[in-house]
């Protein structure tokens, strides 16, 4: 970082999470690190979310937009941001008070890094009442590891189709502005799920394009509740997984052809999932068709073998 107290932008993306949104915004406002801006993006919610955002006045920068999916919301938030460091926060999650302070200390320690990933502690939604949050923060801090974050250069591995086992959820992702500018704007492809392009795209590109740090410390609370991943049946979850994998594979290769091996792997996994879930989604099928039309014969043959391999793996999993 260029200075000891860089400006940190916290992008809070929200869609119909009015019942959780205030706790997310308050957790950003109550950071012990003060040089922050908070940008709250509402992606066309049908609940009371816009009124909640307006109630904060000039404490936050509101972005109220039509529904376009998570990628669209984060694009709009990043376009408004000015920070040297970009931190993402889903509206149903909660930052610990020292989260941004720890993030800044890592970036200040090593000005060569471009991303920082951390962990979150899960709590059931009904546990997360305001008066209990301070005790949860204390509990998490007392149990957190004191092991220093590890520096990671996984760029070559990503280009060889290896995926990192330390990849985080959205609220655990922090990026330098220089790296974020290489990732944003993201393709605005919501798909049926609304998250066809989302955190998987961000974290794979981040690790593929830059060097960073990863810590096992929990700096956020991950709220367990019914959402698109938990409230749908097994087949529908497969459809969501297929959509995310195919869209991410397609657009990562479009962003940088050097990621073709990884893109092929993601596409093959996604296609095998579509076969198992028997999805007939036109958008997904169109991406597959276009991807294959821009792939040479040898790679198409390799892709077919990969699809067959992942289909066999899925069948085996279903049998046990």
Position 236 pLDDT exceeds 80? no
Please state, in angstroms and rounded to a whole number, the distance separating the CA atoms of residues 212 and 291: 30
pLDDT attached to residue 233? 54
Strands 150-152 and 212-224: antiparallel
Please state, in angstroms and rounded to a whole number, the distance separating the CA atoms of residues 203 and 74: 14
| Interaxial angle between packed helices 282-293 and 234-255, expressed in degrees from 0 to 180 and rounded to the nearest 10 | 40
| Interaxial angle between packed helices 297-319 and 260-277, expressed in degrees from 0 to 180 and rounded to the nearest 10 | 50
pLDDT attached to residue 278? 59
Span 31-55, mean pLDDT?
98
Position 263 pLDDT exceeds 70? yes
Contact between 219 and 150 under an 8 Å Cβ cutoff? The reply is no
Summarised one tens digit per residue, pLDDT across range 94-124 is 999 999 999 999 999 999 999 999 999 999 9
237 pLDDT tier (thresholds 50, 70, 90): confident
pLDDT attached to residue 167? 76
pLDDT attached to residue 53? 98
Span 271-278, mean pLDDT?
76
pTM of the model: 0.93
Strands 8-14 and 85-90: parallel
Please state, in angstroms and rounded to a whole number, the distance separating the CA atoms of residues 239 and 228: 11
Least confident of 41-50, 188-197, 233-242: 233-242
pLDDT attached to residue 64? 98
pLDDT attached to residue 277? 60
Tell me the range of 153-162, 270-279, 311-320 where mean pLDDT is highest: 153-162
Contacts of 8 (CB under 8 A, 6+ apart): 33, 35, 36, 37, 83, 84, 85, 86, 87, 100, 103, 104
The pLDDT mean for the chain works out to 91
pLDDT attached to residue 59? 98
pLDDT attached to residue 23? 98
pLDDT attached to residue 313? 83
Position 29 pLDDT exceeds 80? yes
Position 226 pLDDT exceeds 80? no
Contact between 85 and 8 under an 8 Å Cβ cutoff? The reply is yes
Contacts of 266 (CB under 8 A, 6+ apart): 245, 246, 248, 249, 252
């Amino acid at each position: 970082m260029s200075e000891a107290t860089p400006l940190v932008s916290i992008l809070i993306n929200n869609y119909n999470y009015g019942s959780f949104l205030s706790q997310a915004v308050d957790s950003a406002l109550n950071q012990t690190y003060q040089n922050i801006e908070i940008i709250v993006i509402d992606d066309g919610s049908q609940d009371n979310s816009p009124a909640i955002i307006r109630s904060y006045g000039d404490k936050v920068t509101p972005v109220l937009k039509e529904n376009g999916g998570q990628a669209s919301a984060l694009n709009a938030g990043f376009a408004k941001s000015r920070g040297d460091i970009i931190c993402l926060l889903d509206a149903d999650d909660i930052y610990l008070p020292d989260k941004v302070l720890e993030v800044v200390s890592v970036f200040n320690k090593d000005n060569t890094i471009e991303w920082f990933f951390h962990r979150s502690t899960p709590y059931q939604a009904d546990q997360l009442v305001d008066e209990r949050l301070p005790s949860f923060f204390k509990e998490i801090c007392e149990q957190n590891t004191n092991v220093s974050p590890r520096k990671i250069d996984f760029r070559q591995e990503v280009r060889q189709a290896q995926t990192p086992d330390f990849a985080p959820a959205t609220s655990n992702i922090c990026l330098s502005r220089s790296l974020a500018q290489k990732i944003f704007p993201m393709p605005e492809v919501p798909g049926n799920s609304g998250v066809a392009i989302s955190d998987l795209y961000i974290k794979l590109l981040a690790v593929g394009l830059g060097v960073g740090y990863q810590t096992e410390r929990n700096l956020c609370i991950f709220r367990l509740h019914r959402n698109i991943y938990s409230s749908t049946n097994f087949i529908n979850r497969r459809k969501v997984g297929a959509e995310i994998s195919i869209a991410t594979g397609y657009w990562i290769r479009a962003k940088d052809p050097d990621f073709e091996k990884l893109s092929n792997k993601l596409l093959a996994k996604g296609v095998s999932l579509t076969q198992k879930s028997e999805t007939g989604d036109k958008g997904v099928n169109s991406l597959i068709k276009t991807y294959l039309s821009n792939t040479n014969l040898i790679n198409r043959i390799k892709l077919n073998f990969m699809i067959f391999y992942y289909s066999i793996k899925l069948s085996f999993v279903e049998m046990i």
